């Protein structure tokens, strides 16, 4: 069984299906630029398995070292949480 209505990320990007991502200036500049790792954890992520179509559960841990801007958390959450 293959889940229906699956959109590939590349298609979603080219068709403008993803929400805008808000950013803010990185507070880690100068000497702090290489030590300002940001950690975002989503402990309860649910999705459908693309192979079986059954519910699946995961944890997403995102670590990144911002250069000039940081990702605004609500923007990231809007990508993971589908609007109903």
The CA distance from 55 to 18, in Å, is 22
Given the residues 47, 56, 61, 67, the one annotated as active site: 56
Please say whether the beta carbons of 63 and 38 come within 8 A. yes
- Sorted by sequence, the CB contacts under 8 Å of residue 1 that are 6+ apart come out as 52, 53
Active site residue 61: no
Active site residue 56: yes
Given the residues 47, 49, 61, 70, the one annotated as active site: 49
Could you give the residue numbers annotated as active site? 49, 56
């Amino acid at each position: 069984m293959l889940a229906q209505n699956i959109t590939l990320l590349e298609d979603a990007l080219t068709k403008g299906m993803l929400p805008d991502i808000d950013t803010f200036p990185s507070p880690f500049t100068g000497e702090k630029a290489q030590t300002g790792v940001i950690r975002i954890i989503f402990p309860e992520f649910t999705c459908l398995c693309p192979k079986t179509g059954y519910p699946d559960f995961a944890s997403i841990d995102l670590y990144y070292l911002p250069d000039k801007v940081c990702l605004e958390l609500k923007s990231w959450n809007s990508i993971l949480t589908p609007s109903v």
